[in-house]
Amino acid sequence: MESHPERRSDEGIVRADGRVTPATAADVIAAVVDTFALDGIPVASRHKGMLAKQAKELLSDGYSWKLLVMASVYSLRRSQPQNMHFIANDLNMAGARKYMTRRDWDVALQDEMEIGGS
């Protein structure tokens, strides 16, 4: 088990010396591993690598590290760690309440077709 020694906060990670620093991809992976370790489930190194690469990119894009932990756990439970970035984007859009109904999609596609056809 890769127990994460620091406490977590909304702003980032509260380090052992009391400093709050931005979360890193390693922090995201440690939190994911800890989540599965509670149930005695190991996370394969290959999957940790896939998730870490995506987490690093998404953190630099401004995604919340807590959202990335949720997306990582969900993608592992769905046996699709390679798709974590898609899940993170869906969660981010849902959190911002930017849902698109079927009608919204139809209108957007129609607009695209009109622009492309001009």
pLDDT in tens, 66-101: 999 999 999 999 999 999 999 998 888 877 766 667
Q: What angle do CA 76, 77, 80 make, to 5 degrees?
A: 45
Banded model confidence at residue 1, pLDDT cuts 50, 70, 90: very low
User: Domains of the chain: which residue ranges?
Assistant: 7-117
Q: Residue 62 burial (CB < 10 Å; 0-12/13-18/19+)?
A: exposed
Directed axis angle between helix 45-60 and helix 65-77, to 10°?
A: 150
